[in-house]
Structure 1
Amino acid sequence: MPDLTEAVHLSDPMSALEPVPNPGCDVCTSLGQQREEARVMGNMTTVTDCNVEIRRHPHKMQKRWSA
């Protein structure tokens, strides 16, 4: 029977890589600034919300070739 007395070590979900705001995008830049302000204030809920918004913010793909 395995020994169940050892401590369990869970990973920190906040240590995952955060999305990088798209350079030149005003929306992404604003969200990045909001995220950093929230982090300084210890508001990790807003930090997470900003990360979600940055990930979901659409950017038009450049055409690689034209038909």
Structure 2
Amino acid sequence: MPDLTQAVQLSDPLRTLEPVPFFACDVCASLGRQREAARKLGDLSTVSDCNIEIRKHPHEVKR
């Protein structure tokens, strides 16, 4: 039987899967700053909301 007295270390899936803001875009840059401020306060709900908005924010792809 496994030793259940040891703490399990889990990674934070929200942190590894976060979108990278396009900082040349004012909206994305603002969301990126808001996300980092929320993370410092421990407000993971706002961090998640910012991630969703960054993912959904459209940018034209140059060809």
Alignment TM-score, normalising by the size of structure 2: 0.75
- Structure 2 gaps of 5+ residues are none
Bigger relative CO (Cα 8 Å, ≥ 6 apart):
2
Cα 1:29–1:15 shift into 2, 3 Å: closer
* CA distance in structure 2 between the aligned counterparts of 1:53 and 1:32, rounded to whole angstroms: 10
* CA distance in structure 1 between the aligned counterparts of 2:15 and 2:25, rounded to whole angstroms: 25
What corresponds to 2:24 in structure 1?
24
User: For residue 44 of structure 1, what is the amino acid of its counterpart?
Assistant: L
- Structure 1 gaps of 5+ residues are none
For the aligned residue pairs, the C-alpha RMSD in angstroms reads: 1.8
Q: Secondary structure at the match of 1:20?
A: coil
* Rg (Cα) greater in structure: 1
More helix by share: 2
Alignment TM-score, normalising by the size of structure 1: 0.71
* CA distance in structure 2 between the aligned counterparts of 1:12 and 1:33, rounded to whole angstroms: 20
* CA distance in structure 2 between the aligned counterparts of 1:11 and 1:41, rounded to whole angstroms: 19
* CA distance in structure 1 between the aligned counterparts of 2:16 and 2:31, rounded to whole angstroms: 18
**Identity fraction in percent:** 59
What corresponds to 1:14 in structure 2?
14
How many equivalent residue pairs? 58
Q: State the 4+ residue runs in structure 1 displaced beyond 3 angstroms.
A: 9-12
